[in-house]
Amino acid sequence: MVSILKANRQCVSQGKKIALLCFILFVFFLPLYEAPKNIFSVFFVGIGGWVALKQENAFERIVSADLFLWAFFILAMSPFIAGIGSPYMNLTERFLSALNWSLMPLVSLVLYLIKFNDSQVVLALRAFSIGTVVGVWEAFYS
């Protein structure tokens, strides 16, 4: 039983490292390109959400009626009900657009649920800064 718990902890620890890597790649591509940003945000939401539920006891925080958490959840779900009576898009196009628009609040929600330490946050900020510099360079010289 102890070896199963130890293996589960190691798996979640590896999952947290993978989630951090996906988040760093997400913030690097945030000012650059649309497709990698979306891909890494989906990976971060999926893997980070799993880590938050397994390691960070996010389920207890969800049940405890944390107002900040529920506000981001409602914000993430709002694109799915936006434009219900709109004649400009059919249901499939509206749903695909809502998936894209709901990613940013979901990234914020998972980031709120996962506890990254200060050095990991600084690393993500550095990746964002480098991505911004690359984006500005690309805008002027390409």
Residue showing tokens 């506890």: 115
Contacts of 48 (CB under 8 A, 6+ apart): 19, 22, 23, 110, 111, 113, 114
Task: Please indicate whether residue 129 or residue 115 has the higher confidence score (pLDDT).
Answer: 129
With 70 as the cut, is the pLDDT of residue 15 above it?
Answer: yes
Share of the chain above pLDDT 70, in %: 84
With 50 as the cut, is the pLDDT of residue 5 above it?
Answer: no
Q: Residue 48: what residue type?
A: G
Distance of CA 53 to the CA centre of its chain: 14
Instruction: Give the model's pLDDT for residue 10.
Output: 55
Instruction: Give the model's pLDDT for residue 30.
Output: 87
Token pair of 39 as six digits? 């891909």
Q: Which CA distances in Å does 12 have to 17, 106, 129, 133?
A: 9, 20, 28, 33
Q: Which CA distances in Å does 16 have to 83, 111, 113, 127?
A: 36, 11, 12, 18
Instruction: Give the model's pLDDT for residue 70.
Output: 82
With 60 as the cut, is the pLDDT of residue 7 above it?
Answer: no
Burial of 11 (0-12, 13-18, 19+ CB in 10 A): middle
- At 22, is the pLDDT very low, low, confident or very high (cuts 50, 70, 90)? very high
Instruction: Give the model's pLDDT for residue 26.
Output: 92
User: For 78-122, how does the pLDDT look when each residue is reduced to its tens digit (9 = 90+)?
Assistant: 888 876 777 777 777 777 778 888 888 889 888 888 888 899 989
What is the pTM for the complete model shown? Answer: 0.79
Q: How far apart are CA 84 and CA 124, in angstroms?
A: 37
Q: How far apart are CA 142 and CA 131, in angstroms?
A: 15
